[in-house]
Amino acid sequence: MRVFLLIGQSNMAGRGVLEEPDINAEPEKNIYKLDGNGVWLNAKEPVHNDKPELVGVGPGLTFARTVLSTFNGGKVGLIPCAVGGTKMERWVPGGDLYERAVSRARLALESGQLSGILWAQGESDSELEADAAVYKDRLFSLITSLRKELNAEEVPFVAAKLGGFIRPAEYPYTDQINVALESAAAVYDKFFLADSAGLTHKGDYLHYDAASAKELGRRMAEGWLTFQ
């Protein structure tokens, strides 16, 4: 099984409104997710359950479908670890969400091979100048440390730019976060930055609608496939 770690905040967890055909869709036959009890379940939307009252469609399932469609047979396992509204300080070594993600990844690797790390985060760090100023250093620490701890030096790291629809008045340092993400693409091997151009929000100028979340998943998968 090809295993993928899904980390970040709400746009990775998914906030797209659940509608047909996702609500009544049958669980995927060859795509699995690791639940909160460490059990592999056949995946369907929503993949995450970080905030049950808010969770919806995210990029993870479409990413897995796109990857799986390029191979003859095989299975994909998703490790959902994203949590909405979280800052980067919780995703660096020693942070609670970083340590939880590493622990869940190690458990998942008993069943398969780590094949990719997916990252969508930064909105919470674009509100204050102090957070945005250290984002690049924290991002580099996250990438370097995750790859080292999971013996994943050659594993692709696929990140997503922040949405172009975010209001500067509310999140004034969005551009600075995107610059930091772009700088990582220039430094790290097998790092792909998926573009958010043309994607739309669900009415709150912050979260992708369901169609755009799926499109982001496709773009992230296309980036991952460039390394295969």
For 41-52, the pLDDT digits (tens) are 999 999 999 999
Secondary structure class of 67 (helix, strand, coil): helix
Within the chain, which residues score under 50 in pLDDT?
none
Q: What is the DSSP track for 140-206?
A: HHHHHHHHHHTT-TTS-EEEEPPPTTS-TTTSTTHHHHHHHHHHHHHHSTTEEEE--TT--BSSSSS
CATH at 92: 3.40.50.1110
Q: Are 161 and 123 in contact (CB under 8 A)?
A: no
Q: Are 212 and 162 in contact (CB under 8 A)?
A: no
Strand partners, 32: 42, 77
pLDDT for 105-119, tens place per residue? 999 999 999 999 999
Query: DSSP letter at 51?
Result: S
In the chain, the number of structural domains is 1
Task: Please provide the average confidence, as pLDDT, over all residues in the chain.
Answer: 97
pLDDT for 124-151, tens place per residue? 999 999 999 999 999 999 999 999 999 9
Strand partners, 158: 118, 192
pTM: 0.97
- Quote the domain boundaries for residue 72: 2-225
Q: What is the pLDDT of residue 43?
A: 98
- Per DSSP bridges, beta strands 40-42 and 31-34 are antiparallel
- Spatial separation of the C-alpha atoms in residues 160 and 227, rounded to whole Å: 16
Q: Are 46 and 57 in contact (CB under 8 A)?
A: yes
